[in-house]
């Protein structure tokens, strides 16, 4: 049997929508997971996958797993549907509305495309490596299901690393005795809700991708 198989060569060839679809399946059966990986990431029908040589199936599955294990550097720009998108260039200028939507949606993989709509937006003009993106507004974020997974994973890793650096910097600058008060504040009730949810998402994300926090 001869099949035309489109196996992704890089993480940029896997979309967020594909990964969301992959997360929805039952992962308790390894054989079923392997079949669905071929279907979702390579476009192979289940009936055709069953006829493939076992060694080929294993090679493809190992390749996809290796891609999902990668820790890409922050993707600042990518092209989607002939339009260039850029990572939000000035995080210190993020608006209250952007923060609320990011905090709301980044805790849910099914809504991750809405979080990515905050972080990556169409570029309206650029000057070399510098660029400006369009203003943020609530919109139909379905197009963001098509963004590449290297952008998704790299932005999550970026925020995890940034958060660690900010917390460490803050704690080391505190006077003796204040550190425990800050930690208690961040982990208490309403004040810590956003951070707890965000940290849980990051840990879950990294665990799913077999990425260590250390």
Q: For the chain, count helices (H), then strands (E).
A: 9, 4
Is residue 4 situated within a structural domain?
no
110 and 16, same structural domain?
no
Rg over alpha carbons for the chain, rounded to the nearest Å, is 20
Average pLDDT, the chain: 80
Residues 98 and 188 in one domain: yes
The residues, any chain, with a CB within 8 Å of residue 170's CB and separated by 6 or more, are: 182
156 pLDDT above the threshold of 70: yes
The reply to whether 172 and 100 lie within a common domain is: yes
Q: What is the pLDDT of residue 192?
A: 47
Residue 6 within a domain: no
Say if residue 34 is in the same domain as residue 63. Answer: yes
Check whether 87 has a pLDDT greater than 70. Answer: yes
Same domain for 93 and 116? yes
pLDDT at 199: 53
pLDDT at 103: 79
pLDDT at 72 over 70: yes
Looking at residue 96, its pLDDT comes to 83
Q: Examine the pLDDT at 167 and tell me if it is beyond 70.
A: no
Residue 186 in any domain: the answer is: yes
Asked which of 47, 68, 89 is the last residue of a domain, the reply is: 68
115 and 180 housed in the same domain: yes
> Poorest-confidence range of 13-22, 56-65, 90-99, 148-157?
90-99
Host domain of residue 142: 77-208
Whether the predicted pLDDT of 41 surpasses 90: yes
Of 7-11, 123-127, 165-169, which range is least confident? Answer: 165-169
Q: Which residue did the predictor score with more confidence, 2 or 128?
A: 128
- Verify that 26 and 108 share a domain, yes or no: no
pLDDT per residue over 7-38, tens digit each? 999 999 999 999 999 999 999 998 899 999 99
Per the structure, the count of domains in the chain is 2
Residues 104, 61: one domain?
Answer: no
Identify the band that residue 95 occupies on the pLDDT scale cut at 50, 70 and 90.
confident
Domain contains 158: yes
Q: What is the pLDDT of residue 6?
A: 85
Same domain, 185 and 81: yes
> Mean pLDDT throughout 43-60?
90
Question: How much is the pLDDT for 188?
Answer: 52
How many Cα atoms occupy the beta-carbon half-sphere of 84 within 13 Å? 11
214 in any annotated domain: no
Question: CB–CB of 87/150 below 8 Å?
Answer: no
Last residue of a domain, one of 51, 68, 85: 68
Residue 134 belongs to a domain: yes
Digit-coded pLDDT (tens) for 168-193:
554 455 554 555 554 554 455 544 45
The SS3 of residue 79 is strand
Half-sphere exposure of residue 117: CA atoms within 13 angstroms, side-chain side:
20
Q: Are residues 20 and 114 in the same domain?
A: no
- Same domain for 109 and 58, yes or no, is no
Structural domain contains residue 116: yes
Confidence band for 158, pLDDT divided at 50, 70 and 90: confident
pLDDT at 97: 85
Residue 5 domain flag: no
Residues 56 and 91 in one domain: no
Domain limit, last residue, from 25, 42, 68: 68
């Amino acid at each position: 049997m001869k099949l035309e198989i489109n196996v992704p060569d890089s993480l940029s060839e896997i979309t967020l929508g594909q990964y969301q679809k992959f997360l929805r399946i039952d992962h308790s059966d390894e054989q079923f997971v392997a079949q669905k990986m071929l279907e979702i990431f390579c476009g192979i029908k289940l009936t055709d996958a069953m006829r493939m040589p076992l060694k080929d199936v294993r090679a493809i599955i190992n390749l996809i797993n290796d891609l999902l294990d990668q820790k890409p550097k922050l993707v600042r720009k990518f092209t989607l549907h002939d339009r260039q998108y850029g990572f939000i260039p000035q995080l210190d200028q993020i608006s209250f509305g952007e923060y609320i939507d990011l905090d709301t949606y980044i805790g849910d993989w099914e809504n991750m495309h809405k979080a990515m709509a905050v972080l990556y937006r169409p570029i309206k003009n650029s000057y070399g490596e510098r660029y400006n993106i369009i203003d943020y507004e609530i919109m139909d974020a379905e197009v963001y299901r098509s963004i590449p997974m290297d952008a998704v994973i790299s932005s999550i890793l970026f925020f995890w690393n940034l958060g660690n650096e900010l917390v460490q910097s803050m704690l080391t600058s505190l006077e003796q005795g204040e550190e425990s008060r800050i930690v208690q504040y961040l982990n208490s009730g309403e004040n810590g809700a956003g951070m707890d949810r965000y940290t849980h998402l990051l840990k879950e994300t990294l665990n799913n991708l077999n990425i260590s926090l250390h």
